[in-house]
Structure 1
Amino acid sequence: MHTSNGYGLWGLAFLNAAIFIYFAYSYYTPKTTRDWRSFGMYSAFIVALFGEMYGFPLSLYFLSGWLSTRFPGVDWLSHDAGHVLEMMFGWRANPHFGPFHVVSFVLIGLGFWLLSRAWAVLYRAQRKGSVATTGPYARIRHPQYVGFVAIMFGFLLQWPTVLTLLLFPIMVIAYWRLAKHEEKDSLAHFGDAYRAYMEQTPAFIPHWRSNRSRSAPT
């Protein structure tokens, strides 16, 4: 695989994976076994992604025959063709400015923003020994997991591969299960305070109205 096609750049693959794993680590700062498990799943996804983005396009190599038949005129072993959704929907300009690529950057940015904001709120709450209910936690109970999913889905839009497509739903289910385990621990530790928080605040998808407006008497 020639570097002129944008592949075989294993040093670049390692560098990008290390940067995005470090960013997530600095925002998330795993401490418990569950924290490390969720962070490890994210790291595996990132390594698989950049391994195909800059190392060897395994998915495109195996699917190039089918893709060439369905979408003729595209060099599916070129680096730009790794932006599969742009190619499939006929975007022939620079794929880095394609609609899926732009949306992916928004999701990735939102995911890292959630991680950073949620970590600061959770850190202060843990220092006080209280339930985290401000910042992103005022809207959803698990902003850090939502942040990880947003980042991974953003990368999936930008550069889908067979492995990451298989990993993504598995990891979403794993994060959902980790969130449920954390809620059991929080209920055991905080009792009614956390139970009231659960009744007012959705787990993953925020309500349009604030907690204050939802809890106001009618």
Structure 2
Amino acid sequence: MGLKLGVFTVVSVVAYLGLAVLGWGGLHPFFSHPALVALTVVLFGLTAASFFTAGNLSPGEKEDRGNRWVLWAFGLIGVLLGWLPAYTDRTEFLTIDGDLARWAGVALFAAGGTLRLWPVFVLGRRFSGLVAIQPGHELVTTGIYRVIRHPSYLGLILSTLGWVLAFRSGVGAALTAIMMIPIVARIRSEERLLGDQFGAVYQAYRDRTWRLIPGVY
């Protein structure tokens, strides 16, 4: 992982978890729930795994700078997702009852986080936190990319749903739905850039695959 992305990842994860602990009223109340302890372990495990990727924040040879607003949108929604689900869990506001929901959320968070990282390993240095074409960029259409074009975003959606479910948060589910706005904008930006770069080859790839969910979108 590139230095910039590594620093950004560490700061983001610490802040994200810190907001959740704050929302739950402190360390002791937060870690009194076994499912939330497990959620934390999974979070740090996925973070550690991310350091073995070659992802970066490079603008590469060509970047769609007009899409950078999405990063600010993700940041704002991320702050809310860090704190609000934990707070509504503690105050029992629009919550889903039962520990089953918490453990289902942990499992979904782990599965989604793994799916989020898998394409980063596959793409290597071609994966950037920015919408950009990297030097020597090649179009990957095998493996998981044979079916869906944006598996990492599907992983992000699933892991976010898992996070809010671990806090039994109906409000968090609504925030996850709102997060689809910048995700779709980001997808469209990436597809325009890849279409410009690879032309008919990318159009043919689009024609035979789905963006996120086979048979749906």
TM-score class, shorter: 0.5 to 0.7
> One-letter code of the match for 1:101?
R
Given candidates 178, 186, 210, the residue that maps to 1:202 is 210
Q: Distance in 2 between matches of 1:21 and 1:198?
A: 30
Residues 141-160 of structure 1 aligned to structure 2 (within 5 Å): 141-160=149-168
Matched, 1:9 2:9: no
Structural mapping, 1:54-203, within 5 Å: 57=87, 60-61=90-91, 63=93, 84-85=95-96, 87=97, 91=98, 95=99, 98=100, 100-123=101-124, 128-161=136-169, 164-203=172-211
Given the superposition, is the C-alpha separation of residues 107 and 28 from structure 1 closer, same or farther in structure 2, using an over 3 Å criterion?
Answer: farther
CA distance in 2, matches of 1:146, 1:159: 20
Distance change >3 Å, CA 59–CA 108, structure 1 → 2: closer
| Separation in 2, partners of 1:183, 1:162 | 32
Q: Name 1:210's counterpart in structure 2.
A: none
Aligned to 1:81: none
- The 3-state SS of whatever aligns with 1:189 is helix
Mapped contact 1:106–1:154 kept (Cα < 8 A): yes
For 1:178 and 1:23, how far apart are their aligned partners in 2?
A: 26
Q: Which moved more, 1:140-149 or 1:112-121?
A: 112-121
The count of residues paired between Structure 1 and Structure 2 equals: 170
Deviation at 1:155, TM superposition (A): 1.5
| Residue pair 1:187, 1:194 contacting (<8 A) in 2 also | yes
Helix, strand or coil at the partner of 1:116: helix
1:41 aligns with 2:41: no
Deviations 1:143-178 (A, max 9, x none): 111010000011222214465344211111210111
Cα pair distance change 1:24/1:42, threshold 3 Å: farther
Secondary structure in 1 aligned to 2:177? helix
The unaligned stretches of length 5 or more in structure 2 are: 1-20, 32-36, 60-64, 127-133
Provide the C-alpha distance between the structure 2 equivalents of 1:124 and 1:44, rounded to a whole number of angstroms: 27
Superposed CA offset, 1:174-218 (max 9, x none): 1011101110110001101111110111111136xxxxxxxxxxx
Gap regions ≥5 residues in structure 1: 68-83, 208-218
**Aligned residue number for residue 78 of structure 1:** none
2 CA distance for matches of 1:42 and 1:154? 18
Moved more, 167-176 or 144-153: 167-176
Q: Which amino acid aligns with 1:107?
A: L
| Cα RMSD after superposing both structures | 4.0
What is the Cα deviation at residue 121 of structure 1?
A: 1.9
Q: Secondary structure at the match of 2:139?
A: coil
Q: Could you say what secondary structure the match of 2:83 adopts?
A: helix
Report the AA paired with residue 55 of structure 2: T
Identity %: 24
